[in-house]
Each structure stands twice: as C-alpha cells, then as structure tokens.
A and B are shown apart, each in its own frame.
Chain A
C-alpha cells in the first residue's frame, strides 16, 4: 500500500481508451463498476469533444461478483455492434476485472463469432503498466491485429508509394497539444514533398491499416506512444522509423536530415531521385523559425545564467531541457521525468546538460527538489505549476498531465519550426513575468491595494452583530466582499442600522447575491 495524493500517469485502461477512441469508428467496452467511465468526462470536457465518446461500460455489480459476468459482457458487445456498427470493439479490462480474473479473452472470442465488428481484448495488466505504456501497447496490438489479418487474407500491400511518404504514429486524444503537433508535422512533410501516408491512431481508419507498410518510413514524435507500433513494421517489413523528437531547432535539423537519409536510400526507385534538404533546414532555422534569431537578440541575453527546473514526460522534459541549455543558454539545475519505464533513455538524453536528474512518480519529491534548488522558472506539468504558485516561482506547462487551459483552441504546436517559436515564447514569458514580479517587490508593489479595499465597503456607520460577522467569515473569500457590500446597501435602503444574520439573508433574497 502506498499513501498517494496525486499521480502523473493514469491507470492502464485510460491509455487503452485514449488509443481506441482516437481511431475512427472503434468502440471500447470497459469491464468496470459504475462510475468508472470518467474517461468520457475527461474527453468531453478537456478536448471539448462534439461527439459522444465511443466508450461504454459493461457494469460489474453485485450480481457479477456473485455469479460472474456470464452473458453480460457478450450481450453488451453484441448490442453495441448492432446499435453503432463499429469496425472494432476493444474489450477493456480495468483494475476490477484484473482481480476478478474472468476469462475476458473467452468473452471476446465468443462475441466475435456473432458480431459483424471485430472484437479484441486489450492486452494490458492494470498492476503492471500505466496509462502511457498501455496506450503504446494497445496501439501496437490494434495495428498488429490488422496487419496480420491482411496478411492472412492476402490483402497486405507491401509495395511502397511512388513518391516518398511517411506515417505519423502516436497522435492521440488527450495528448498534450497533439492536434497542433499533428498539423505541424503534416505541414513539415508537405514542405519537403513527402506524402502523409497515414496518421494513427487519431482519425486513423482500420480498413486502411493494411496500407500502413506502403510508407517509406515512420515518424514517431513522442517516446510514450507509438514506439512499439513503429518497431513492429520495422521487424516485419524492414520499415525504418525516426526516433528523434522533432522539437527544438537542433533536433529539427537532425530530424530532417534523417528523413533525407531514408529517402535517398530509396532514391533509385523514386520518381524524384535524391533529395537535399540542407538549404531548407538553413532557411527554416534562420528565417521561418524565430527561435535562432531570438537567442541572439539582446532580450535573450538577460536570461543567460538563469536557472530552471524541468519536469514532465520523457519526451517533453528531455526536449525542453535540450532547448533551454543548447539553444537559449539557460542553466537547468534539475531535469526529471515521471516515466520510470523510460529512465535509461532519459538519462542518456539529458546527460551533461543539467546538474541533476530526478526520476520519480512522487510529486512531493519534485516539490521538495524545486524548493531546494529555488530556480527562476519551472517548466513542468500542471502539478509543478501549482508548486510554483505556492513558492512564487513562474511556471511554463510543457507536458501532461494538464488542465483544460492546456487544450488551447489557437494553434500551439510544440513540434516543428512553428513549435520552436511557441516554446521560445513560453520560456521567455515565464522568465519576464518572474522579473516583473521581482521589480514590483523591489519598488513596493502595486500601490492601489488600499484604495480598492476601502471602496468595497459602503457603510462605516453600520453595526454588525457578532454572529453576522462569524457568518460572513464562513462565506468563501471570493464572494465575501460582494455579499458584504450588498448587505450594506440593502441595510441602508431599508434604514437598518444593525446587521444581523437575518438581514444578511434577507439581502440575499432581495438582491440575489
């Protein structure tokens, strides 16, 4: 047992559901007790989804405990099959079904004999993997299912496309800025004359998965989701993938160079022949992305020697650390990730770039570290943002877990050349805000505070009974001023000189505040 207040990565089934509901026309059925479908709320609220989240539960209740699920799961699968005709139904185990140890595979097999949809059981163990690992596995599992199926049916298309093409693997729902990153990646490929063969899982169609191997290579922008899926076709078809994260100017250059290498390897069959992206890289770096110029500009001089702390998932924490150190001259006192399963890779990436590496899932440990190192700015998750608030240190959010404000409507990629601009803004704004605060402190803060408080209260000649003062204290701070003022206005209008609890509530009823 572990005393826990907060976790960075969610439970396994969340990962499975993220992948399943990202694909087009896939329905997930959770084997779970009532209330476990909170994923639907997250998707509907955070992503502001217009459509019903394709996730339902086959409810585990007392009867199921006593007698087993029996036909219930199968009936639910078949019912969903009839109602919505999904291409695939993913039976999703939860922590509850892990303990019940019912033979879910058997349910899936039996249901698939009746239903027109394919049915698979997500191969994830709640107690062994977290959200990110489960997402990675499920994505691989679904792709494998359809590649093997196509092979069995002889429909697998292994002829590569005429012009260079790539798959983008790992874009998913509830992923940090994934939609924007996806658009930016597509734009990059288009700039370079590379076709986008497929994007999965987001918006991916299962019927098209058999054509996945037609691309020349795969792009995996994130470490957490997609690697396993990319490794599979590499093993099966010798299809290469680019494991470099296209974030930051330096890594972008490397990333584009890798694409060039893969394309030129096939140049003999390509209609376009060999490509040379060097001038593209130079032009983008110097003129399209503002980040290179920004780090030369005198503004950025001010941040030299400033200290930052970075924490997040492996992808973002490693990339941001590299950008801060190599591209902006900021010192990273500590860089860390909660992706324990990817610790080795992370260590390699940030080695020599920061004073200290921290790998933990315990947010209090991160909080203590931040308190000890006292950085000028933090780049982390929503949790680090709150730690920053408490310690009065500005924070830029660079990684999941995040709140709704980090699902912006405006275009905010982290990847690609536009991404470098966004990251530069984020970094710069975090530091200057800190500076502003500091200067305000030095010069004695805003001097308007007192004036504002005075105007909140309209009457000084009113008497408040002890009870009503107590009552006022119980009202949450953010409305207290308004209620106090309204009560006083009400009292004055009615020639009341003593404010009692009765008067307070009478005022509320009258003035509706």
Chain B
C-alpha cells in the first residue's frame, strides 16, 4: 500500500449541501435553558427551521423568527422600533435571561446594524442581547454555534486571579445546583492552590459535559466552567491565567476570541471523539497543567476492548465523507483507528491552526495503521464527489440527507452526517455511540444483504 508523506489538501467549488448555520439554535436553545433565540430573517429561514428541526417546533421552543417583510427590506420601517416591539413581546411572554439575535443573509445584505441596535435595546429592555451573525454567506452548519459562542465570550465575567473574580465564580456555581461540577468546597480549594483555571468551550448535552468533567477529575484537574453553561447567568469567568480547551472542531472563531479578546491560554488538542481522541485530549490538558496522566492507557484499552464487536464489522471497510459539519477530521481519524480506509474527507472549512493537533493526530494514525493518507477536500463539490464515488464505490458514505436516499438506491450505504451533530459522541463513554451510528447501515446489510435488490434506481451513479 502506498503511503503519502503529508495529507493532501484540496479546495473545490463550494457547491455542496449543508444545513444553514442558523440551525445551531436547535441545540443551543436546549443547552442554554434561560435563553431565547430570535432569528432575524425571511420566510426562507423560518421554513428551514421548522422543517429541519422537525417536532421540536411543536414543543413551544424558545426560538422564533423575526420575519422580515417588504417594508423592512426597503427601510420603510425602522429596524430598532420593530425589534423593540418584538423583543418586548418575547420578554413579556417568556421572560428569558438573554435574547440572542441571529443575523442571517438578509440582515447582512441590507446591512441591518444589529450590533449597533443591541446595546441600545439592552438598556431599554433590561435584558442582555447577544448578536451572532450566523449567515449562509460566510458559514456552514455547525459554524453557527461558533459565531454564537464567540459572541457569548464577551459576556463572560472577568476572571481575577487575586480573588475578587474568584468570589464571583463561586457564587455563580453555587447558584446553579446542576453546575458542571457539583462543587464540594474542599476540592475547589484544593484546586485553587494547585491548578490554573480550566474552562472548556463547546456546547454538549449536560450528561456528556459531566462525563468529560469526570474524566478530567480523575486526573485531578477540575473543570471550572463551560462555555456555554447550562444557564446564561452562569457563564464562566474568563481572563488572563484561564486555560481554555475546545471540545469540538468547528469552534475556531470562539478559540480566537478567547485568546485575543479575553487573553485566555488555548490548549490545542485533538478532540475528545473516540477513545483515542479522548485520551489524547486529556493528555494534552494534563501536559499543559504539568500533571502526569494516570491510568489513561488502561482506560483506553478497556474501551477498545468493549468496542470489539463493532470494530470487527468496520475493519477493512472503506468510507467517504462528503462533508457538511466540520466533525469530519475527528470522526475519520477515529474510524481509521478502528481499521477503516478513508477515501476522502470533505469538509466545509478547514482551520489548520485550530485543528493542528487533530490533523497531526490523523497523520500519525494513518501511519500507525499503515493506510494511505485520505485527501482532505475543503469546500467540496457534491456533484464531483458523486462522480468520484463511482470509481472505488466506498462501503459507506457519510453524507447529508439530500444525498442519502439517492445513494442508497444506487447500492451505496450511507449514514446521515447530521446525526453526528445531535448524538452523544464525546468522551470514552460515548465511543460506542459513534460506532453504533457508523455500523448501523452495515449491520442492516447483514440482515438484508442477501435479498439481491441493492440497486433500486433506474439511474446509475453517474447521472
């Protein structure tokens, strides 16, 4: 088998299918319990949200559209007055601790000054208003969360090593009850003397967050807080002397903002996806804190052992990532370690600095497993990808829902990429869940494979 020296990077036309970045409200409104997300956009955005988010729309969600009408576009109506009216209504009906305005393509094009209006209305209404520009002109899918968290970074209280900020921090933790680490005061005090402050960023379901808290607690590193926290009122203090580490690969703006604007120290690590990733992630944090990791090797091995029924299915199988949510590099790396061969990693946007550790980990994993480096295709072209898929016919394609059924009808197994965004995939504990997703189409094949109707389309792969 041929092995390349370095990872080949390519860039295509950007003609690919993905979700709009405003879809981040789907998971963020559930994560931040006292928030309200207001998407300022047109019917198109609203229609996307109600279709993409499916049944959540019926559960009185804490998000809504400020639907722009012709009068707004032609500036016959005053933006500030209109937004004020709507936000007053939200405040009256829902009384949130924060309103997050999501700017869209339309607000970009008509240059609506959301950032300028927000502070004025914030004073008038007495509710914090955070502005995130999650538009399809600049961003794809999960990058929406990145813009929200980057905006939220500015709202975190100031960390003060000399104790004042510390007090504030303690208070915020006490107020919660469900705060990441049910803080026994003693451990807190112990930590203060030993470790610098560690804040993790990236929105995870609270159970996954506490699993990761637990993992680092095992290495006697206490996670001081999360961005975002369970409630807006509990945002972690940030500032010089605070270490931050990302849990998701699509958070490069947030990372930049944390470093440049809040003077935090970024720990660049692979992401805690898969047992290999989780271990590397913890090791990196440990080394930043000068802690010798304890029992990680055993723990990783143990997890791998428990995954063996799944890895057996995956070994030797090939996979193709069409790319739409930026998790691709990490998941590909994990699957290579499981014995899979990756033909192509499509990815909307590749931040080689923020993902540096993950990329070199991918590189090492390929060498270790003795397989060729997969090509990384930034801004892929879906049409070309489908042509490329025709030749080696991968065993599995990770793809968006627009292409899944047509590919299945042509005999190529698919897994929807969106599921990786919503499933619990981080940490040792959830490694199995990732493989559960990846193997599902392959396991279904074991059951259906012998029936002889794999190709159910009258068209071929090329058209």
- Chain A positions near chain B (C-beta within 8 angstroms): 1-7, 10-11, 13-14, 32-38, 40-42, 44-45, 48-53, 56-57, 59-62, 65, 76, 83-84, 94-96, 98-100, 126-128, 130, 383, 386, 389, 403, 467, 470-471, 474-475, 501-502, 505, 508-510, 512
Contact = CB atoms under 8 A, between A and B. Distances in A.
Given A6-B50, A7-B50, A96-B44, 8 more contacts: A1-B68, A7-B43, A34-B20, A35-B140, A36-B136, A37-B402, A41-B402, A65-B109
Contacts of B182: 467, 470
Contacts of B432: 509, 512
Nearest to A85: B463
A27 B303 CA distance: 49
Contacts of B457: 50-51
A42 B51 contact: yes
A386 B67 CA distance: 23
A57 B14 CA distance: 10
Interface string B30-60: 0000000000101110111011101001100
B252 interface: no
Given A2-B69, A5-B61, A386-B58, A470 B306 contact: no
B405 interface: yes
Contact of B137 (A44, A51, A60): A60
Interface stretch (B206-214, B236-244, B365-373): B206-214
A40 B400 CA distance: 10
Contacts of A57: 15
Contacts of A48: 405
A84 B47 contact: no
Given A2-B66, A11-B42, A34-B14, A52 B137 contact: no
A471 B207 contact: yes
B151 interface: no
Given A2-B69, A127-B73, A33 B137 contact: yes
Interface stretch (B83-91, B122-130, B154-162): B83-91
A54 B272 CA distance: 38
Given A2-B66, A34-B18, A505-B211, A60 B72 contact: no
Given A5-B57, A41-B400, A42-B51, A56 B66 contact: no
B105 A60 contact: yes
A4 B210 contact: no
Interface string B106-122: 10111000000000000
A93 to B, nearest CB: 11
18 contacts: A10-B43, A35-B19, A36-B20, A38-B51, A41-B17, A44-B403, A44-B404, A49-B405, A56-B15, A57-B15, A60-B137, A62-B138, A83-B383, A126-B44, A470-B182, A471-B210, A508-B429, A509-B302
A95 B42 contact: yes
Contacts of A50: 405-406, 409, 456-459
Contact of B409 (A11, A42, A51, A96): A51
B361 interface: no
Nearest to A72: B13
B401 interface: yes
A509 B383 contact: no
A4 B64 contact: yes
Interface string B292-328: 0000000000110010000000000000000000000
Nearest to B39: A4
A475 to B, nearest CB: 6
Interface string B198-235: 00000001110011001000000000000000000000
B132 to A, nearest CB: 16
B43 A61 contact: no
Contact of A1 (B77, B400, B409): B77
Interface in B332-357: none
Select the residue from B40, B72, B206, B402 with max chain A CB neighbours within 10 A: B402
A302 to B, nearest CB: 30
A99 B47 CA distance: 18
B59 to A, nearest CB: 9
B187 interface: no
Interface in B135-183: 135-141, 177-178, 182
B65 interface: yes
A410 to B, nearest CB: 19
B391 interface: no
Contacts of A44: 401-406
B394 interface: no
A52 B407 CA distance: 8
A35 B136 contact: yes
B47 A11 contact: yes
B44 A36 contact: yes
B189 interface: no
B60 to A, nearest CB: 8
B44 A95 contact: yes
A29 to B, nearest CB: 10
B402 A34 contact: no
Interface in B399-439: 400-406, 409, 428-429, 432
Contact of A502 (B21, B52, B109, B214): B214
A95 B67 CA distance: 12
Given A65-B137, A99-B73, A470 B178 contact: yes
Select the residue from A40, A48, A60 with max chain B CB neighbours within 10 A: A40
Nearest to A1: B82
A509 B387 CA distance: 40
Nearest to B408: A50
B5 interface: no
Contacts of A509: 302-303, 306, 428-429, 432
Contacts of B302: 509
Given A4-B65, A52-B406, A41 B401 contact: yes
A92 to B, nearest CB: 12
A38 B105 contact: no
Nearest to B303: A509
B447 interface: no
A98 B74 CA distance: 11
B55 to A, nearest CB: 8
Given A62-B137, A475-B207, A53 B106 contact: no
B209 to A, nearest CB: 10
A127 B47 contact: no
A37 B463 CA distance: 19
Select the residue from B48, B61, B459 with max chain A CB neighbours within 10 A: B48
Contact of B306 (A94, A95, A99, A512): A512
A34 B106 contact: no
A1 B66 contact: yes
Nearest to B21: A35
A49 B77 CA distance: 43
Nearest to A49: B405
B406 A99 contact: no
Nearest to B407: A52
Contacts of B108: 65
Select the residue from B52, B82, B83, B405 with max chain A CB neighbours within 10 A: B405
A41 B403 CA distance: 8
A126 B66 contact: no
Nearest to A96: B105
Given A6-B57, A35-B20, A42-B51, A501 B210 contact: yes
Q: 4 shortest A-B CB distances, which residue pairs?
A: A35-B20, A33-B136, A40-B402, A50-B409
B44 A11 contact: yes
Given A34-B14, A467-B182, A471-B210, A1 B106 contact: no
Nearest to B19: A35
B106 A95 contact: yes
